[in-house]
């Protein structure tokens, strides 16, 4: 199956099993806005908890915060979002469709990359066992020609974006002969800047002063509370403040399901350090965050770092942790060395000092900041797409399963009486009562046991416990494991301990 079909199947599966629904679907939906269903909300909560425990509970010098979404409008002037949080947009005059100019170019570059991959495929077929891919990539004239084009366009695009050269960006789109996917024409407008912040009014009088924004990132809530937390928590530098919360961006390119949403959630940590030590801490957090991802056990080959060539105005180093989504490697988390930009700006705009007196050096300074910022919804999508497997079984059967890390699975154990009579449901509920205080469980007595196993596989439940007639006599149950489908008879008294040892957050976090 190609990746596009696989992604479609994942999206359909997410809906069918109550993970993700289109927002306001009965009114034909809203693009790039999604609701999380009964399974989705559990998975999402488990991801949040896994992040929170790793960042806040495991670090003596990191504390949490829950700041409001509404903030004083000056915050967004100080942060630069009013002036510079823009996307370059271009419209096709025939289809009237609007695109992000840089995304049109990125799509063009991906297509060129696909051409190279096709050449490699052809080469492999032609040369068979003697095919040497690295050699082929270095010498094949078709590959070299495409590569040269990719490098040139990438360079020109990066220059145009860095210099805010919108005419140059438009010219590049024309030079690459990019057509509108809807109308097929090259009838493009100028490139214009579009601010991504949603605004609304606060209060009843509608004048300028009442205009406020829905926060486009959670970070600023942390910065404006830097001194509150530092003082009330008697924090000493270096220390961090972590927050999970909603952010809003009026994204123009709404696609790839929950990868790019207009309302989404971020899990951010701002780490305040002594000026001059920021590179050390930047490298520290780069490695620490990658270890967090790897601890979930999806495999190292699914992650890679991407260092930024174009740095945001506030950063002196930045990279992304990218994940192999079905549509390619894309940003999952950003790690940025934000210098003292934000606190200095707030000092300037608020007129209040944002400094720390360092007892070790006997001086006051505006701390530097390392930010780790991960999208909760993107992590959700990463988990879902890595876990989704269509598996052929013996005897021509097949099953769809979600091989989710047990610690994140929405339901940890399903308790299934073999039949709906003879006292088996009562016995099953006794077993359920032993587990439900410590883990998410589900009770299911409908349909054949095989069907029930399939339903649990499809939502990623790591364990099924089956109660049969024999259980009433010997207090033993069948424990079935999701991935291997192995079944084992074990005493009821052992079940709780056995499952807890596999789903324990601590066990996963210790592997970091
Ligand atoms: P992109 O380049 O993909 O637009 P970004 O670099 O603007 O992302 P940041 O501002 O660094 O993203 O935000 C931190 C994290 O928040 C990202 O790594 C991503 O996981 C998540 N994120 C950002 N925008 C969105 C969105 N529109 N929908 C879902 N998650 C998002």
At residue 394, the pLDDT reads 87
Closest CA to 289 of 335, 235, 349: 335
Q: Ligand 1 pocket: which of 374, 377, 378, 384 to mutate (most atoms <8 Å of CB)?
A: 378
At residue 206, the pLDDT reads 57
Rg from Cα positions in the chain: 26
Burial of 19 (0-12, 13-18, 19+ CB in 10 A): buried
Identify the three-state secondary structure at position 450: helix
Q: Closest ligand 1 atom, CA of 266?
A: 16
With residue 328 as reference, give the H or E element that holds it.
strand 328-339
Distance 373 CA to ligand 1 centre (A): 8
Distance 450 CA to ligand 1 centre (A): 41
Distance 326 CA to ligand 1 centre (A): 18
Asked if the model's pLDDT at residue 196 lies above 80, the reply is: yes
Q: Closest ligand 1 atom, CA of 378?
A: 20
Length of the chain: 512
Asked if the model's pLDDT at residue 208 lies above 60, the reply is: no
* Closest C-alpha to ligand 1, atom 19: 375
Give the Cα separation of 95 and 401 in Å (integer). Answer: 41
Closest CA to 69 of 301, 280, 245: 245
Q: What is the mean pLDDT of residues 450-465?
A: 97
Q: Among 92-96, 192-196, 283-287, 308-312, which is the least confidently predicted range?
A: 308-312
Distance 333 CA to ligand 1 centre (A): 8
Residues 32-41 pLDDT 10s: 999 999 999 9
At residue 209, the pLDDT reads 58
The mean pLDDT value of the chain amounts to 94
Q: What is the mean pLDDT of residues 362-367?
A: 96
Which amino acids bring their CB within 6 angstroms of ligand 1? 217, 249, 251, 260-261, 264, 266, 331-334, 373-375, 377-378
Residues 459-509 pLDDT 10s: 999 999 999 999 999 999 999 999 999 999 999 999 999 999 999 999 999
Q: Closest ligand 1 atom, CA of 375?
A: 20
* Closest C-alpha to ligand 1, atom 13: 373
* Closest C-alpha to ligand 1, atom 22: 375
* H-type alpha helices, 163-277: 166-175, 219-223, 226-232
* Closest C-alpha to ligand 1, atom 23: 375
Structure confidence at residue 207 as a pLDDT band (50, 70, 90): low
At residue 211, the pLDDT reads 86
Q: What is the mean pLDDT of residues 66-82?
A: 94
Q: Ligand 1 pocket: which of 375, 376, 380, 381 to mutate (most atoms <8 Å of CB)?
A: 375
Distance 258 CA to ligand 1 centre (A): 11
Handedness of CA 67, 70, 76, 78 (dihedral sign): negative
* Residues whose CB is less than 8 angstroms from the CB of residue 83 and which lie 6 or more positions away in sequence, other chains included: 77
At residue 252, the pLDDT reads 80
* Closest C-alpha to ligand 1, atom 4: 260
At residue 277, the pLDDT reads 96
Residues 237-277 pLDDT 10s: 999 999 999 999 998 877 799 999 999 999 999 999 999 99
Distance 463 CA to ligand 1 centre (A): 34
Q: Ligand 1 pocket: which of 266, 267, 270, 318 to mutate (most atoms <8 Å of CB)?
A: 266
With residue 492 as reference, give the H or E element that holds it.
helix 492-503
At residue 337, the pLDDT reads 97
Distance 122 CA to ligand 1 centre (A): 36
Structure confidence at residue 205 as a pLDDT band (50, 70, 90): low
* Closest C-alpha to ligand 1, atom 9: 334
Distance 30 CA to ligand 1 centre (A): 19
Distance 263 CA to ligand 1 centre (A): 11
Q: Closest ligand 1 atom, CA of 379?
A: 20
Three-state SS sequence of 32-58:
CCEEECHHHHHHHHHHHHHHHHHHHHC
Closest CA to 79 of 253, 270, 250: 270
Structure confidence at residue 301 as a pLDDT band (50, 70, 90): very high
Q: Closest ligand 1 atom, CA of 262?
A: 27
Q: What is the mean pLDDT of residues 276-302?
A: 97
* Closest C-alpha to ligand 1, atom 25: 260
Distance 260 CA to ligand 1 centre (A): 7
Distance 304 CA to ligand 1 centre (A): 16
Q: What is the mean pLDDT of residues 358-371?
A: 96
Residue 348 to residues 78, 343, 352: CA-CA distances in angstroms? 8, 9, 7
Asked if the model's pLDDT at residue 84 lies above 80, the reply is: no
Q: Closest ligand 1 atom, CA of 331?
A: 18
Distance 375 CA to ligand 1 centre (A): 6
Give the Cα separation of 64 and 239 in Å (integer). Answer: 11
Q: Please, what's the largest Cα pairwise distance for the chain?
A: 80
DSSP annotation string for 132-158: -HHHHHHH-HHHHHHHHHHHHHHHHHH
Query: Which is it for strands 413-417 and 463-467: parallel, antiparallel or unpaired?
Result: parallel
Q: Among 164-173, 202-211, 385-394, which is the least confidently predicted range?
A: 202-211
Kindly list the strands in the beta sheet with 487-491, ordered across the sheet, starting from the edge strand earlier in the chain.
441-443, 413-417, 463-467, 476-481, 487-491
Identify the three-state secondary structure at position 286: helix
pLDDT above 90 as % of the chain: 87
* Closest C-alpha to ligand 1, atom 26: 260
Q: Ligand 1 pocket: which of 331, 376, 381 to mutate (most atoms <8 Å of CB)?
A: 331
DSSP state of 71: -
Q: What is the mean pLDDT of residues 396-407?
A: 95
Query: Does pTM top 0.85 for this prediction?
Result: yes
Q: Answer whether 95's CB lies under 8 Å from 183's CB.
A: yes
At residue 311, the pLDDT reads 79
Query: Which is it for strands 263-273 and 239-248: parallel, antiparallel or unpaired?
Result: antiparallel
């Amino acid at each position: 199956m190609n990746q596009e079909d696989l992604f479609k199947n994942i999206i359909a599966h997410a809906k069918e099993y109550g993970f993700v629904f289109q927002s306001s679907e009965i009114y034909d939906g809203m693009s790039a806005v999604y609701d999380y269903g009964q399974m989705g909300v559990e998975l999402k909560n488990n991801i949040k908890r896994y992040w929170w425990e790793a960042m806040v509970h495991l670090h003596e010098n990191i504390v949490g915060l829950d700041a409001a979404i509404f903030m004083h409008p000056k915050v967004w002037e100080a942060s630069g979002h009013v002036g510079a949080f823009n996307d370059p947009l271009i419209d096709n005059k025939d289809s009237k469709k609007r695109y992000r100019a840089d995304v049109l170019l990125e799509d063009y570059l991906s297509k060129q990359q696909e051409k190279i991959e096709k050449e490699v495929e052809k080469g492999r077929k032609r040369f068979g066992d003697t095919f040497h891919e690295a050699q082929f990539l270095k010498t094949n004239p078709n590959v070299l020609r495409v590569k040269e084009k990719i490098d040139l366009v990438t360079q020109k695009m990066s220059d145009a974006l860095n210099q805010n050269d919108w005419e140059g960006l438009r010219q590049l789109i024309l030079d690459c002969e990019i057509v509108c996917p809807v109308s097929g024409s090259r009838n493009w407008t100028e490139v214009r800047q579009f601010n991504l912040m949603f605004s609304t009014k606060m209060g009843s009088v509608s004048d300028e002063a009442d205009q406020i924004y829905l926060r486009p990132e959670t970070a600023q809530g942390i910065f404006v509370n830097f001194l509150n937390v530092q003082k009330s928590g008697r924090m000493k530098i270096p220390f961090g403040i972590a927050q999970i919360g909603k952010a809003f961006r009026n994204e123009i390119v709404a696609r790839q399901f929950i990868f790019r949403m207009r309302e989404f959630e971020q899990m951010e940590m701002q780490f305040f350090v002594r000026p001059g030590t920021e590179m050390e801490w930047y490298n520290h957090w780069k490695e620490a965050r990658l270890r967090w991802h790897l601890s979930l056990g999806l495999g190292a080959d699914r992650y890679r770092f991407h260092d930024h060539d174009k740095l945001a105005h506030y950063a002196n180093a930045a990279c992304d942790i990218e994940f192999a989504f079905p549509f390619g490697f894309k940003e999952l988390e950003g790690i940025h060395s934000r210098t003292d930009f934000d606190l200095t700006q707030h000092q300037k705009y608020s007129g209040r000092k944002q400094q720390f007196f360092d007892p070790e050096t006997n001086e006051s300074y505006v701390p530097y900041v390392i930010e780790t910022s991960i999208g909760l919804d993107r992590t959700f999508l990463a988990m879902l797409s890595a876990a989704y497997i269509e598996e052929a079984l013996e005897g021509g059967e097949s099953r769809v399963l979600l091989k989710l890390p047990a610690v994140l699975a929405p339901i940890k154990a399903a308790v299934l009486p073999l039949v709906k009579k003879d006292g088996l449901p009562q016995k099953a509920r006794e077993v359920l009562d032993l587990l439900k205080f410590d883990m998410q469980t589900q009770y299911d007595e409908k349909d054949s046991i095989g069907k029930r196993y399939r339903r649990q596989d499809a939502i990623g439940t790591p364990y099924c416990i089956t109660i049969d007639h024999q259980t009433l006599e010997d207090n033993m149950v069948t424990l079935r494991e999701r991935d291997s489908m192995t079944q084992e008879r074990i005493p009821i008294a052992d079940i709780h301990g056995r499952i807890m040892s596999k789903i324990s957050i601590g066990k996963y976090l210790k592997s970091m």
